[in-house]
Chain A
């Protein structure tokens, strides 16, 4: 596959060096780290090293605060369910309207189980109202779960400050840092964040490995009980090869942190400016001044995202969209709707997410291809007339049944 891969927020390619470090753990080093013989011993040491590499990436105080899980979703579920189990007298959850389904779907389910869920709204740029947050916090709040960076727009939430406020209210604070870990520096030891989720496949480690950071002293109730793995906090024989891979990927991400926040950010900015300059009626969604260095989410008005992706794919360019059609749902992305982006633009949002492997050449190529694709689809659009939208587009085309 020699395409242009600008969909790194969906998943990343495993770095060849990461694959290299993993391979022995499928063959010679196949032992069970719990075993008493030498087949297991080396594996145990490798896992210990990986735990320290992840500790380093997260800026955690102790390596025992790192619990390996099977994915970001498991970490999110474990954190929220643990907080509820550990504080049965507190019956409320605070989260946001723009969380990943890994958090939102669980919260919807918990609501049916009788918990009260407060969904914090966002403004047009995807920002929270801190006064609303303060007003929702109470002695009933069991847990606050707020993502570090949004997967669709890259927009950051002020989680460090929010964790302080939660702590002051006696509530636990969890953050889904699946998109932030490896892309921006984290320093958990200086925060009041109790729990944090990471997913390996977003930082060039394999799929199916994740981390739950659990601050020492935070009361915890495991989701999976069984053996004593992960100090009894997550039973199940360790996915040793993937853990080793994630450790190495964490170390590589640490080494590339400056590059990610200078060079990758520069390429992203160039891509965005190049497209906006050439495509009329397009705009950036989210908060461009406060977001991940690799992410750009652009709304192209009056056309639909899946059609854009299919045409991009024909040119070997991979991106993703917030349109309803790409997910087979009835509504465009809940993140776009929460920001009040109108339907005629929300369906036409395209997320470009770069990585440290993205090149200037690729950026130039995408800038060259996108405007023609957009023009081509607009020629088919009933909202479009010649070189611009029809006068009063919503009146020019008002289909029956909405």
Chain B
């Protein structure tokens, strides 16, 4: 039995905005029938203001697919298209108080349906560029296709490499056999043999950034979340960057509050998307100044 949150159950048992929207002017059909999840999102957009007046869905899929669809319609009603397009799959998952790793793709599907429906409204054709593979790493919800593509395009040759680039294998490590299998297969394709003991590649930043560029990006991400934290009476500052560990200081109402862990998790996710690498965010109680003085 999946460990669904109460919010997921609520949106599954009482789906909001289900059924056909008769006067929709933007429709997105996405999903995969072989995987068993597919969704039609219907929008009614006010042309003058680009505001989503109404949103309804029909879903062929499991509990979390139906819940994600329902949540999405609730989240985007009343937003402008620009605002709605900023909704990420993580936002959908957060709205539902989280999804099991095997089910994160349901939130991805929601986001894609939104993109497809907006494209349809604007008279554009939306095409999907991602292919989904079998889930390999359950800790970080990373699938085989992503791992294989990353190994191929970055010439990776060790499990550690794969973890550095994709996060896969960085948790409980049960999936290392699966990662080794993919490594062996891809390396064979390029005429090499996989050797278990081989050293990881140079730890270059996957996005090809210099240190300074990297820190600027980190700062930009933190800057973007500050207004929201301030609204809740808190704040965050960057303390130090040590390789893959990013030290921050949470202050005000954020420090030690129950939401701290949740907030940090969200920020960590955003940072990883921005830097395209696996990083760990660690809260410290020391401000950047005192830390600098200690050297």
Shortest CB-to-CB span from B5 to chain A, Å, is: 14
Decide: B33 and A325 in contact? CB cutoff 8 A.
Answer: no
Shortest CB-to-CB span from B34 to chain A, Å, is: 5
Decide: B32 and A380 in contact? CB cutoff 8 A.
Answer: no
Task: Provide the bound-state CA to CA distance between A323 and B60, in Å.
Answer: 12
Cβ–Cβ < 8 Å partners of A328 in chain B:
100, 102-103, 135
The answer, among B32, B60, B132, B133, for a CB contact under 8 Å with A381, is B60
Q: Which residue of B lies closest to A402 (CB)?
A: B32
With contacts A330-B132, A330-B133, A401-B128 known, is A304 near B32, CB below 8 A? Answer: no
Shortest CB-to-CB span from A215 to chain B, Å, is: 35
- Greatest chain B CB density within 10 A among A323, A328, A343, A382 is at A382
Task: Provide the bound-state CA to CA distance between A343 and B32, in Å.
Answer: 10
Q: Which of A290-313 contact B (CB under 8 A)?
A: 302-307, 310-311
Decide: B34 and A382 in contact? CB cutoff 8 A.
Answer: no
User: Is A398 part of the contact surface with B, judged by Cβ < 8 Å?
Assistant: yes
Decide: A382 and B58 in contact? CB cutoff 8 A.
Answer: yes
With contacts A328-B102, A379-B19 known, is A401 near B131, CB below 8 A? Answer: yes
Decide: A399 and B30 in contact? CB cutoff 8 A.
Answer: yes
Cβ–Cβ < 8 Å partners of A343 in chain B:
33-34, 36
- Greatest chain B CB density within 10 A among A303, A305, A347 is at A347
User: Is A344 part of the contact surface with B, judged by Cβ < 8 Å?
Assistant: yes
Cβ–Cβ < 8 Å partners of B103 in chain A:
325, 328
User: Is A372 part of the contact surface with B, judged by Cβ < 8 Å?
Assistant: no
Q: Which of B61-69, B71-79, B232-240, B263-271 contacts A (4 or more CB under 8 A)?
A: B61-69
Cβ–Cβ < 8 Å partners of A400 in chain B:
29-30, 112, 116, 126-128
With contacts A330-B34, A347-B36, A382-B40 known, is A304 near B62, CB below 8 A? Answer: yes
* Interface band, chain B: 35 or more
Decide: A397 and B34 in contact? CB cutoff 8 A.
Answer: no
User: Is B146 part of the contact surface with A, judged by Cβ < 8 Å?
Assistant: no
Shortest CB-to-CB span from B98 to chain A, Å, is: 16
A360-402 Cβ-contact flags toward B at 8 Å (1 or 0): 0000000000000000000111110000000000000111111
Cβ–Cβ < 8 Å partners of B63 in chain A:
306-307, 310, 325
Task: Provide the bound-state CA to CA distance between A362 and B32, in Å.
Answer: 36
Q: Which of B182-230 contact A (CB under 8 A)?
A: none
Decide: A344 and B33 in contact? CB cutoff 8 A.
Answer: yes
The answer, among A325, A379, A382, A398, for a CB contact under 8 Å with B36, is A325
The answer, among B31, B60, B131, for a CB contact under 8 Å with A303, is B60
Decide: B29 and A398 in contact? CB cutoff 8 A.
Answer: yes
Decide: B29 and A402 in contact? CB cutoff 8 A.
Answer: no
Task: Provide the bound-state CA to CA distance between A329 and B35, in Å.
Answer: 8
Shortest CB-to-CB span from B107 to chain A, Å, is: 14
Q: Which of B10-18, B84-92, B248-256, B272-280 contacts A (4 or more CB under 8 A)?
A: B10-18
Q: Which residue of A lies closest to B1 (CB)?
A: A313
Shortest CB-to-CB span from A10 to chain B, Å, is: 12
User: Is A332 part of the contact surface with B, judged by Cβ < 8 Å?
Assistant: yes
User: Is A324 part of the contact surface with B, judged by Cβ < 8 Å?
Assistant: yes
Cβ–Cβ < 8 Å partners of B33 in chain A:
343-344, 347, 399, 402
User: Is B148 part of the contact surface with A, judged by Cβ < 8 Å?
Assistant: no
Task: Provide the bound-state CA to CA distance between A402 and B35, in Å.
Answer: 8
- Greatest chain A CB density within 10 A among B15, B38, B40, B60 is at B60
User: Is A37 part of the contact surface with B, judged by Cβ < 8 Å?
Assistant: no
User: Is B39 part of the contact surface with A, judged by Cβ < 8 Å?
Assistant: yes
Shortest CB-to-CB span from A256 to chain B, Å, is: 30
Cβ–Cβ < 8 Å partners of A332 in chain B:
34, 36
Q: Which residue of A lies closest to B59 (CB)?
A: A380
Decide: A325 and B18 in contact? CB cutoff 8 A.
Answer: no
Cβ–Cβ < 8 Å partners of A303 in chain B:
60
Cβ–Cβ < 8 Å partners of A331 in chain B:
34-35
Task: Provide the bound-state CA to CA distance between A375 and B139, in Å.
Answer: 36
The answer, among A302, A330, A401, A402, for a CB contact under 8 Å with B60, is A302
A303-347 Cβ-contact flags toward B at 8 Å (1 or 0): 111110011001000000001111011111000000000011001
Task: Provide the bound-state CA to CA distance between A401 and B133, in Å.
Answer: 13
Cβ–Cβ < 8 Å partners of A323 in chain B:
36, 62
Cβ–Cβ < 8 Å partners of A380 in chain B:
15, 18-19, 58-59, 66
Cβ–Cβ < 8 Å partners of B59 in chain A:
380-382
User: Is B286 part of the contact surface with A, judged by Cβ < 8 Å?
Assistant: no
Cβ–Cβ < 8 Å partners of A305 in chain B:
36, 62
Task: Provide the bound-state CA to CA distance between A175 and B60, in Å.
Answer: 37
The answer, among A302, A314, A344, for a CB contact under 8 Å with B13, is A314
- Greatest chain A CB density within 10 A among B18, B32, B36, B126 is at B36
Shortest CB-to-CB span from A285 to chain B, Å, is: 16
A27-65 Cβ-contact flags toward B at 8 Å (1 or 0): 000000000000000000000000000000000000000
Decide: B15 and A304 in contact? CB cutoff 8 A.
Answer: no
The answer, among B12, B34, B134, for a CB contact under 8 Å with A402, is B34
Task: Provide the bound-state CA to CA distance between A332 and B60, in Å.
Answer: 14
Decide: A325 and B116 in contact? CB cutoff 8 A.
Answer: no
Cβ–Cβ < 8 Å partners of A347 in chain B:
33, 36, 60
Shortest CB-to-CB span from B36 to chain A, Å, is: 4
Task: Provide the bound-state CA to CA distance between A305 and B30, in Å.
Answer: 19
With contacts A399-B39, A400-B29 known, is A330 near B134, CB below 8 A? Answer: yes
Cβ–Cβ < 8 Å partners of B61 in chain A:
304, 307, 325
Q: Which of B1-59 contact A (CB under 8 A)?
A: 12-13, 15, 18-19, 29-40, 58-59
Decide: B128 and A304 in contact? CB cutoff 8 A.
Answer: no
Shortest CB-to-CB span from A389 to chain B, Å, is: 12
Q: Which of B126-177 contact A (CB under 8 A)?
A: 126-128, 130-135
Task: Provide the bound-state CA to CA distance between A374 and B33, in Å.
Answer: 18
Shortest CB-to-CB span from A100 to chain B, Å, is: 19
Task: Provide the bound-state CA to CA distance between A358 and B97, in Å.
Answer: 38
Please name 5 pairs of A and B residues whose Cβ atoms are closer than 8 Å in the assembled complex, sorted by A: A325-B37, A381-B60, A382-B60, A402-B32, A402-B33
Interface residues of B (CB under 8 A from A): 12-13, 15, 18-19, 29-40, 58-66, 100, 102-103, 112, 116, 126-128, 130-135
5 A-B pairs with least C-beta separation:
A325-B62, A328-B102, A306-B62, A382-B58, A347-B36
Interface residues of A (CB under 8 A from B): 302-307, 310-311, 314, 323-326, 328-332, 343-344, 347, 379-383, 397-402
Q: What 4 new A-B contacts, CB under 8 Å, besides A304-B60, A329-B134?
A: A380-B66, A397-B29, A400-B30, A400-B116
